[in-house]
Amino acid sequence: MSVQLWTYILVGITFALYIGIAIWSRAGSTKEFYVAGGGVSPLANGMATAADWMSAASFISMAGIIAFAGYDGAVYLMGWTGGYVLLALLLAPYLRKFGKFTVPDFIGERYYSKTARIVAVVCALIVSFTYVAGQMRGVGIVFSRFLEVDINTGVIIGMVIVLFYAVLGGMKGITYTQVAQYCVLIFAFMVPAIFISIQMTGNPVPQLGMGDTLSDGTYLLDKLDGLTTELGFAEYTSGSKSLVDVFAITLALMVGTAGLPHVIVRFFTVKRVRDARKSAGLALLFIAILYTTAPAVAVFARTNMIETVSNQEYANMPEWFKNWEGTGLLNFNDKNNDGKIQYVADANVNELTVDRDIMVLANPEIANLPAWVIALVAAGGLAAALSTAAGLLLVISSSVSHDLIKNVFNPDLSEKGELWAARISAVGAVIIAGYFGINPPGFVAAVVALAFGLAAASFFPAIILGIFYKKMNSKGAIAGMIVGISLMLFYMLKFKFGIFDGGKAAVAGLKDSWWFGISPEGFGTIAMVVNFVVALAVNKFTEEPPEDVQEIVENIRIPSGAGDAVSH
């Protein structure tokens, strides 16, 4: 059977599965819509969190980015896992005890202020839309290559599917589809990785294969270090980013992880505080399976690619090379007309450009794996992108229906009315996300990385202070959030998009004027510190929070008696 046919079959089966689950688990109340009724088991929540968390960026782009960045790729590996330690130890148990529906719920009540709630809603919307844009683009890439439809058609198919189960099922539908999506995506990621690991090193465990020897007895990593230096790239295991930037990006991603509303809200769906702790651990375990495999895939893919293309005749390139050239993601330009491919670091001599996004998608083809494995990767990529998109859309719709409409504009709204408002907001959010998918802003991971900076700069300090500092007041928290997210937005627009210096073309030239030598991806760390400082300074000169709020803080520190999540 052809790859095409296999892809139609596997994608068809998985989509039918998601829709079936959505119909079985549709939401009947706002509580089911926002927090899946609050009775999700830690195991199911762990899997759902992992699928929610691992986006198109993790599945499609990450191994590719690491393949080209070498050691520097560690910022994503540590950054996107280490945050769970913060989440499990510093946030999840207390927010579960607090027992509300959304992150702005916590901010609004802990800081006894409508303004605080509105600021939190705006932050949640900015973070979630930045993030969801990347997911829709991921859906488009997978569809365009594997189903050979137009990217726009692909995005629209994806929108319809997400719309169906997010609008119908709310958090309940999303949670159980995410459990299925986790199984699909982890299987799809591991199968080719294991195949390739055996092919190259004879070791069936990719995590160990990465450090194993090739058939000629040399260590794989030594071989790759040799190849990369020979071609003029930075040595694979050394990387090229500065230490301070690696530090800042890693911290921004970790803290951002712990501050992302669509991740935090998952811990509202379990029954007890101890379940929240446990499901954070399980979530990280499930995530770690992919995250420790990705660097191995990166090493295999980079070595394979260099060996296949470097100094080889263009005419002899295998079929996958031509396939990917067709999508425009792989590009060969024979500058010296010798008919061979020169792939080197020097931009004047280099003849091959490779989009990082294709490394995972093309990997099974490069390694000559069977057709069904290639199709499986397509289904996995779609599962990763759809599950994250659905989680984000839910945060967006609940921010609008619960935090804005119900709690700010129309407190008299009935339960039924709120459920309808939630569904309509979800439709609106899907349409906006689809627009971003059709008009994508840059490649997937770059945009996603910025969402973390924004979350780190806004929510993390406000939540941490809200739990660990009883005397933190509303004025301090609001000032901190506004200054933090504004500073981050400013830095992002200036140094990532070049808005103030004549557009994207100016971005490369601005690198020398980065503050403290920190890239826009890492700047969330600085913006977070500024948020903390501003919040504490303003707090010092304004009045203490009321007695009853201080009591709430004492109460959330005690794990027992969490009860159900309630709206008021």
Partner 1 sequence: MTEKQKKATAYWKENLKYLVILLTIWFVVSYGAGIIFKDALNNIRLGGFKLGFWFAQQGSIYVFVVLIFVYVRLMNKLDKKYGYNED
Q: Which region among 276-284, 314-322, 404-412, 416-424 touches partner 1 (by CB under 8 A)?
A: 276-284
> Residues 27-66: x/- map of binding to partner 1 (CB under 8 A)?
---------------------------------------x
| Min CB(123)–partner 1 separation in Å | 25
Written as six digits, the tokens of 302 are: 């980079």
Q: Is there binding between residue 280 and partner 1 (CB under 8 A)? A: yes
250: exposed, middle or buried (Cβ count in 10 Å: 0-12, 13-18, 19+): buried
Nearest to 261 by CA among 545, 31, 526, 52: 52
Choose, by CB under 8 A, the member of 207, 229, 310, 312 that binds partner 1.
207
3-class DSSP state for residue 352?
A: strand
Query: In angstroms, what is the minimal distance from the CB of 441 to partner 1?
Result: 29
Tell me the sheet residues that pair with 332.
Answer: 352
CB of 43 to partner 1, least distance (A): 13
CB of 95 to partner 1, least distance (A): 15
Q: Which residue has the tokens 């969190």?
A: 49
Q: Tell which residue, 148, 168, 171, has the closest CA to residue 160.
A: 168
Which span (16-24, 409-417, 524-532, 556-564) binds partner 1, by CB under 8 A?
Answer: 556-564
Would you put residue 318 in left (φ > 0), alpha (ψ -120 to 50) or beta? beta
- Residue 221 found at the interface with partner 1 (CB under 8 A): yes
449 contacts 503 by C-beta, under 8 angstroms: no
By CB under 8 A, is residue 115 in contact with partner 1? no
Of 56, 127, 166, 246, the residue at the interface with partner 1 (CB under 8 A) is 246
Sign of CA dihedral 512, 518, 521, 527: negative
Least Å distance between CB 546 and partner 1?
18
Binding of residue 340 to partner 1 (CB under 8 A):
no
Query: What's CA 566's distance to the chain center, in Å?
Result: 28
Cα gap 233→15, rounded to integer Å: 42
Selected from 60, 88, 309, 375, the binder of partner 1 by CB under 8 A is: 88
63 Cβ contact list (under 8 Å, min separation 6): 294, 295, 297, 298, 301, 359, 360, 363
Please select the residue that binds partner 1; options are 17, 19, 90, 344, rule is CB under 8 A. 90
d(CA 34, CA 149): 34
Q: Which stretch binds partner 1 (CB under 8 A): 112-120, 146-154, 219-227, 434-442?
A: 219-227
Q: Are 132 and 385 in contact (CB under 8 A)?
A: no
Task: For residue 477, state whether it binds partner 1 (rule: CB under 8 A).
Answer: no
Among 37, 38, 82, 170, interactor with partner 1 by CB under 8 A: 82
> Out of 31, 96, 266, 278, which residue is the one contacting partner 1 (CB under 8 A)?
278
Q: How many residues bind partner 1, per CB under 8 A?
A: 50
CA distances to 57, 58, 564 from 240, in Å: 22, 22, 50
Residue 47: CA count within 13 A, CB half-sphere: 18
- Find the part of the chain contacting partner 1 (CB under 8 A) among 285-293, 313-321, 346-354, 510-518: 285-293
As a whole number of angstroms, the distance between CA 170 and CA 35 comes to 8
Asked if residues 249 and 79 have their Cβ atoms less than 8 Å apart, the reply is yes
Q: For the CB of residue 285, give the shortest distance to partner 1 in the complex, in Å.
A: 5
x/- track of binding to partner 1 for residues 347-376 (CB under 8 A): ------------------------------
CB of 469 to partner 1, least distance (A): 12
Which residue in 142, 193, 210, 430 binds partner 1 (CB under 8 A)?
Answer: 210
Q: Calculate ∠ Cα 246-357-208, nearest 5°.
A: 65
Q: How far is the CB of 519 from partner 1 (least distance, A)?
A: 15
The 408-427 site mask, x for binding partner 1 (CB under 8 A), equals --------------------
Q: Which stretch binds partner 1 (CB under 8 A): 70-78, 308-316, 328-336, 370-378?
A: 70-78
| Interface with partner 1, residue 559, by CB under 8 A | yes
Quick one: which of 39, 212, 310, 501 contacts partner 1 (CB under 8 A)? Answer: 212
Q: Tell me, what DSSP letter sits at residue 500?
A: G
Does 272 bind partner 1 (CB under 8 A)? Our answer is yes
Asked if 269 touches partner 1 (CB under 8 A), the answer is no
Return the structure tokens found at 139.
Answer: 């859906």
Q: Which of residues 502-541 bind partner 1 (CB under 8 A)?
A: none
Residue 442 contacts partner 1 per CB under 8 A: no
Cα–Cα distance for residue pair 471/432, rounded to 1 Å: 40
Report residue 135 as tokens: 């997911």
Can residue 250 be called a binding residue for partner 1 (CB under 8 A)?
yes
The piece of 80-88, 102-110, 174-182, 444-452 that touches partner 1 (CB under 8 A) is 80-88
98 lines the binding site for partner 1 (CB under 8 A): no
Q: What is the Cα–Cα distance from 379 to 283, expressed in whole angstroms?
A: 21
Among residues 1, 16, 89, 431, the one that binds partner 1 under rule CB under 8 A: 89
Min dist. Cβ of residue 213 to partner 1 (A)? 7
- 352: its two tokens: 């091959």
In angstroms, the CA 362 to CA 85 distance is: 33
H-run or E-run covering 556: helix 547-556
Nearest approach, Cβ of 423 to partner 1 (angstroms)? 34
Angle between helices 3-24 and 371-398 (to 10 degrees): 30
Tell me the two tokens of residue 510.
Answer: 């601005």
Question: What does 508-519 look like in DSSP terms, one character per residue?
Answer: GGGGGG-GGG--
CB nearer to partner 1: pick between 32 and 245: 245
Residues lying near partner 1 in the complex (CB under 8 A) are found at 66, 71, 73-74, 77-78, 81-82, 84-85, 88-90, 93, 207, 210-213, 219-222, 237-238, 243, 246-247, 250-251, 272-274, 277-278, 280-281, 284-285, 288, 291-292, 295, 554, 557-562
